[in-house]
Amino acid sequence: MKLENFLSDLSMFTDRDERMEFLIDIASRFKEVPSEIAERPFKKENKVPACESDAYVWLKDNKLYFAVENPQGISAKALAVILDENFSGTDDIKNIPESLVDTVFGSTISMGKGEGLRGMVRLAKNLG
């Protein structure tokens, strides 16, 4: 239900620039995984394969946590916030739709960027 509301909000942004601003604003809410959950060096099992933003995902007590090591990994941070805000505390983590990445970032996202972000979704689902 949360996700439906979010996607409904997102769909209101038909202008590319406004949509980007909306996603950048989301990324600004990104909070890195707290030290009580994980500390550097992070474990390989939490690393998202093929993500050039060096993203990591954890799940504890049904809450998702993320780290994005590339300071320019702004899309990865936006997706982390979207996943946390819409799926943490729900029973749907293992059912996160992989199509979410294309729905949020659009079909013109590059193959590399898209695959890295889809990798974040896949890892979150596998942990769920």
Partner 1 sequence: MNTALKISEYACPDVVVSTDWLSQNLNNPKIRIIESNEDQLLYSSGHIPGAIEIDWAKDLNDQFSRDYIQSDAFSSLLSRLGVSNDSTVILYGDKNNWWACYTFWVFKLFGHEDVRILDGGRLKWVSEGREITKEKPKLSETKYVAKIRDDKTYRAFRDEVLLVSKNRGQLVDVRSPEEFSGERLHMEGYPNEGALRGGHVPNAKSMPWARAVDTKTGCFLPASELKALYVEGLELDPKKPTIAYCRIGERSSHTWFVLHYLLGFEDVKNYDGSWTEWGNSVGYPIER
Interface residues with partner 1 (CB under 8 A) are: 17, 20-21, 23-24, 27, 49-52, 71-75, 78, 105-106, 108-113, 115-116, 119
Long-range contacts of 102-110 (CB under 8 A, 24+ apart): 103/7, 103/10, 104/10, 104/23, 104/78, 104/79, 105/23, 105/75, 105/79, 106/19, 109/75
Nearest distance, CB of residue 72 and partner 1, angstroms: 6
| Shortest CB 113 distance to partner 1, Å | 6
Q: Which is nearer to partner 1, 28 or 62 (CB)?
A: 28
Nearer to partner 1, 30 or 65 (CB): 30
Could you tell me where the beta strands, DSSP code E, fall in the chain? Answer: 55-60, 63-68
Cβ nearer to partner 1, comparing 16 with 94: 16
112: its two tokens = 């590399």
For residue 81, the minimal CB distance to partner 1 (Å) is 12
Minimum CB distance to partner 1, residue 83 (Å): 16
The nearer residue to partner 1, 18 or 45, going by C-beta atoms, is: 18
| DSSP sequence for 58-88 | EEETTEEEEEE-STT-HHHHHHHHHHHHHHT
Amino acid at 7: L
